[in-house]
Structure 1
Amino acid sequence: MSDLSSLPQGLEALETRLKQDLAWLELPAKSWIPPREVDGKTVVDVVIIGGGMAGLVASGMLKRLGVANHVVLDKASAGQEGPWVTFARMRTLRSPKQLTGPAMGLPSLTFRAYYEARYGNEAWLALDRAPREIWMDYLIWYRRVLELPVCNGISVDAILPREDGMLDLVCRQADRTEIMIARHVVLATGRDGLGGPYLPPIADDIDRNFWAHTADEIDFAALRGKRVGVVGAGASAMDNAATALEAGAARLDMFVRRKELPRINKFTGIGSQGVVHGFAGLPDEWKWRFLNYAMGQQTPPPRPSVLRVSAFPQARLHLESPISELKQIGDHLVVATPKGHYPVDFLIFGTGFKIDLTNRPELAAVAPYIRLWRDRFPTPAGMPNAELEGSPDLGDAFEFLETEPGACPALAKIHCFNFPATLSHGKLTGDIPAISEGADRLARGIVKALFVIDRERHFADLQAFDTPELLGDEWVDAETTTEKDTKLNA
């Protein structure tokens, strides 16, 4: 990762331009929310859990709208937030380089502006897609130039409703635990934000030393000279396979259920502002229809990722090869498929993620009350989909809804700004293309809720406001003037 402490001249100039843009737009807006204290402790208006891309743009939007009293918490150390320099193992991002992503409509905050400032216009024109490490550098810069209130090394162990309608957050930093009181909480917790990695049952009885999920830390150097298996052929599976091969794996076998790899990225084909802003307005059956179809077609791995694997002669792709049995024999595993048996020394599961609220201890106090789609919408005939059935049913500001009205009112203060929000709102919470639009919808909803709940205070401020614009000497009443003139003439 690049050291941004010593800025090139181009980046300095860009930051000057950004400051001018913000000044011309009168951003950020002035703070307008009345401060609160409980038992001598300052209440935080909004706590964002997660300091990756989604958490940063959510913070930027809240600050933009005058919600100054908010904080972003991330358990990772600074510069390690999100997947980009941890378990993401692709060389470049999948998204086209020109997407504006978290820039919030500000040209000087885009990745393109940042890249050209650092490397020049010719380098931009020659660039295919953003290298993931440079994308992380961009997010670090984004956080710094917007002066976003991110606190690192803090995990949230529990979100607890309070009797006064607010929320207690049990926060842990190293060995110290502290309670933070919040009015709203945003879960900007990524792809696995309401669950965790999905593992097929075949892994249940296998020693943990023999396998990993693509989201795990993996010692790829230890795989040199080994036989490695990969389950799945999505983007993360391909990138992990390539990383193992580049680390010196002697043989790599990829096991894929499908007859052939998917080739068409369906949602990319219909990407438009119509989808961004219109998906949330679809009738329920059409939301389900769109996503169930797209998920059934699956997203192909990026072509560069596939070529990265196929360049190695020791890599073998096994299509129509679901794993029927997995055995641990001595110091290795044997993978059984309908086409044969394959010995491997280590197996990597590229099997995606699942929605499972019971897997999130921080939500234990509220999870039983969260309404899921299966609680309110009957699964359409012929379209069963466990991931969609388990998705949360969300309100207009990404807030959780209750299974039973009145059972847990605090859910209205917890906002699901992560991947499982897709069925309710569309792809606004995890992918680069529409993340700013998602953050704008989230922030405006929170601002609305904060203003409404404080209406008495705002009305009192309205009544108390007494700064005059007119001083009383600007004009003389016409009738009074005429009467005086008449007396003088008489």
Structure 2
Amino acid sequence: MSDLNAPIGLAALEQRLRQDLEWLELPANPWVKPRLSDGQATLDVAIIGGGMAGLALSAELRNLGVSASIFDQAPAGFEGPWATTARMETLRSPKQLTGPALGLPALTFQAWFKAQFGQAQWAALDKIPRLQWADYLRWYRQVLNLDVHNDTRVSRVQPRADGLVELDLVQDGQTRTVLARHVVLATGRDGLGGPWVPEFAKDLPYELWAHSADGLQDEWFVGKRVGVIGGGASAMDSAATALEAGAARVDLLVRRADLPRVNKGKGAGNPGMTHGYWRLPDAWKWRIRRYLNAQQVPPPRGSTQRVSRAANSRFLLNSPIVSASLDPAGAIVLNTPNARLEYDFLVFATGFRTDFALRPEFASFARHIQTWSARFTPPADEFDAELAELPDLGTCFEFQEKTPGACPGIGKIHCFNYPAALSYGAVSGDIPAISEGAKRLAHGLTGQLFNEDIEQHFIAMQNYAEPELLGDEWVVAQPTREELRG
């Protein structure tokens, strides 16, 4: 008798996925009308970024019969942070979340895991190991045969008045230009900027510090006194990395008097928030996001214990940095309200900010983007400088002009990354709602592509001539004589 809990293997899972897609009549046949510009073909949708968000959007567009090309500067299989800069042992998200599966059970991480390792190992699994998640996303891309162009850096994004967007693509030192009808920025957590550090960091020699997103290397920490600035998940991961690399001592310097204990975002983590948030009035969107920013997300319990288990780690709470300098021996001196601390190396686990100066590829349109600060004034006690600089997006995640007419075509560029959170909620990068976000944007793009070519679609409808009746399905009858006289 066969064991129903035994692994079925990836080949069997992939066959089931093919069957599911066939039963659902997916993907739809391509239907978008080809468009040329001066003899050059245009892409329907170009997606910048081949991480989870870019893959999910591309897959949903394909299901709807729309072709999408993904461009990512990383080598194949190393898109996103999972196998490069991330240092957590496991994901925070519960293992059973469906993630980018788009409503297809056979496309979930759970199905992928069980197909290889079986039910017993699934039951024993606590959280998803980070590198295993990277492997799952590699399989996701492969099994759906998505069009991803790796080792390709987008050096310029230029909206045009004719409604097309030019992209300069750099590969192997060569630059080529492609045209797209719509461009989606699926560029992740630092989507419109990059890592943020406090001003005093810039006065310190760069070889003495790093940001937590820099891809921490063990040799940076061996035998050193390390200070980690921050108290969130990335701070715990950075501290643990330094400790496990052989740091002499690692201190976590946290401004707060206590670490946050409750993830308030889970308090409304339901379909109502996912589908209702983006319909809320501006005041409510601001109020929710500002509250979440203020409360902050606690670091995962396991990540925190990974640090506290080490005898040479310290949690220094209520320790904002007042000043920083170098002593004559070259050590970093940090002054807090309570102490004078010396370190050999610092890690800033201080998050990301919108900063277009860090993204020269967006220079042609960045200054024209309408931000929330240009349109919405919050109550004085709810001001948040970080939120104020986020883009005020339209109904299809598109950028809007700060000054009407100043940057034609900017609405063909869509923001599907973390900075979209104020306009749309957590649907453009977080695992719990990424499928819903990908579907929402894909449906919007599909509708726009159809509407843009409505004349051609109407002509095609008029020219459609495949008969359903052939004329031999009936015999023409004549009225009887009585009926004719009647």
Give the TM-score band, short-chain normalised: over 0.9
How far apart, CA to CA, are the structure 2 residues paired with 1:266 and 1:166?
Answer: 41
How far apart, CA to CA, are the structure 2 residues paired with 1:484 and 1:297?
Answer: 90
Deviation of the 1:477 alpha carbon: 4.3
Deviation of the 1:485 alpha carbon: 9.3
Q: 1:379 matched to which residue of 2? A: 378
- The change in CA–CA distance for 1:475 and 1:157 in structure 2 (over 3 A counts) is same
How far apart, CA to CA, are the structure 1 residues paired with 2:480 and 2:401?
Answer: 70
How far apart, CA to CA, are the structure 1 residues paired with 2:440 and 2:178?
Answer: 25
Contact 2:86-2:215 within 8 A present in 1 as well: no
Once the two structures are overlaid, the 10-residue window that deviates more, 217-226 or 126-135, is 217-226
Q: 2:98 matched to which residue of 1? A: 100
How far apart, CA to CA, are the structure 2 residues paired with 1:223 and 1:159?
Answer: 39
How far apart, CA to CA, are the structure 2 residues paired with 1:462 and 1:397?
Answer: 27
Contact 2:50-2:148 within 8 A present in 1 as well: yes
Matches within 5 A, 1:49-448: 49-68=48-67, 70-329=68-327, 330-448=329-447
How far apart, CA to CA, are the structure 2 residues paired with 1:103 and 1:180?
Answer: 30
How far apart, CA to CA, are the structure 2 residues paired with 1:76 and 1:321?
Answer: 38
Partner deviation per Cα, 1:354-384 (whole Å, 9 max, x = no partner) = 1122322111111111110001001222011
Q: What's the C-alpha RMSD, in Å, of the aligned pairs?
A: 1.5
Once the two structures are overlaid, the 10-residue window that deviates more, 393-402 or 345-354, is 393-402
Q: 1:469 matched to which residue of 2? A: 468
Q: 2:479 matched to which residue of 1? A: 482
Q: Which amino acid aligns with 1:32?
A: W
Contact 1:14-1:117 within 8 A present in 2 as well: yes
Partner deviation per Cα, 1:100-144 (whole Å, 9 max, x = no partner) = 000000000000000001111100000001001000000000000
Secondary structure, counterpart of 2:18 in structure 1: helix
Secondary structure, counterpart of 1:409 in structure 2: coil
Deviation of the 1:224 alpha carbon: 1.2
Partner deviation per Cα, 1:303-359 (whole Å, 9 max, x = no partner) = 000000000011011111001111123332111111111111100000001112232
Partner deviation per Cα, 1:278-298 (whole Å, 9 max, x = no partner) = 001111111111111111011
Q: Which amino acid aligns with 1:231?
A: I
Secondary structure, counterpart of 1:482 in structure 2: coil
Deviation of the 1:168 alpha carbon: 0.7
- Relative to the length of structure 1, the TM-score reads 0.95
Q: 1:5 matched to which residue of 2? A: none
Q: Which amino acid aligns with 1:352?
A: G
Are 1:459 and 2:436 counterparts?
A: no
How far apart, CA to CA, are the structure 1 residues paired with 2:146 and 2:481?
Answer: 64
Secondary structure, counterpart of 2:340 in structure 1: strand
How far apart, CA to CA, are the structure 2 residues paired with 1:269 and 1:164?
Answer: 45
Deviation of the 1:162 alpha carbon: 2.5
Secondary structure, counterpart of 1:170 in structure 2: strand
Q: Which amino acid aligns with 1:243?
A: T
How far apart, CA to CA, are the structure 2 residues paired with 1:117 and 1:139?
Answer: 15
Q: 1:3 matched to which residue of 2? A: none
How far apart, CA to CA, are the structure 1 residues paired with 2:151 and 2:11?
Answer: 29
Contact 1:358-1:367 within 8 A present in 2 as well: no
Secondary structure, counterpart of 1:326 in structure 2: strand
Secondary structure, counterpart of 1:406 in structure 2: coil
Matches within 5 A, 1:21-60: 21-60=20-59
Deviation of the 1:41 alpha carbon: 2.3
Secondary structure, counterpart of 2:94 in structure 1: coil
How far apart, CA to CA, are the structure 2 residues paired with 1:90 and 1:324?
Answer: 29
How far apart, CA to CA, are the structure 2 residues paired with 1:362 and 1:46?
Answer: 18
Deviation of the 1:268 alpha carbon: 1.2
Once the two structures are overlaid, the 10-residue window that deviates more, 338-347 or 217-226, is 217-226
Once the two structures are overlaid, the 10-residue window that deviates more, 405-414 or 98-107, is 405-414
Contact 2:161-2:409 within 8 A present in 1 as well: no
- The change in CA–CA distance for 1:325 and 1:466 in structure 2 (over 3 A counts) is same
Deviation of the 1:486 alpha carbon: 8.0
Deviation of the 1:223 alpha carbon: 1.2
Deviation of the 1:161 alpha carbon: 2.0
How far apart, CA to CA, are the structure 1 residues paired with 2:470 and 2:122?
Answer: 58
Q: Which amino acid aligns with 1:76?
A: A
Deviation of the 1:484 alpha carbon: 7.8
Secondary structure, counterpart of 1:57 in structure 2: helix
Gaps of 5+ in 1: 1-7
Deviation of the 1:243 alpha carbon: 0.7
Q: Which amino acid aligns with 1:416?
A: C
Deviation of the 1:9 alpha carbon: 5.7
Contact 1:154-1:173 within 8 A present in 2 as well: yes
Contact 1:285-1:380 within 8 A present in 2 as well: no
Are 1:450 and 2:449 counterparts?
A: yes
Contact 2:159-2:412 within 8 A present in 1 as well: no
- The change in CA–CA distance for 1:201 and 1:486 in structure 2 (over 3 A counts) is closer
Contact 2:253-2:320 within 8 A present in 1 as well: yes
Contact 2:30-2:65 within 8 A present in 1 as well: yes
Count of equivalent residues: 478
Q: Which amino acid aligns with 1:466?
A: A
Deviation of the 1:269 alpha carbon: 2.1
Q: 2:3 matched to which residue of 1? A: none
Contact 2:75-2:150 within 8 A present in 1 as well: yes
Gaps of 5+ in 2: 1-6
Contact 2:27-2:64 within 8 A present in 1 as well: yes
Deviation of the 1:174 alpha carbon: 2.4
- Relative to the length of structure 2, the TM-score reads 0.96
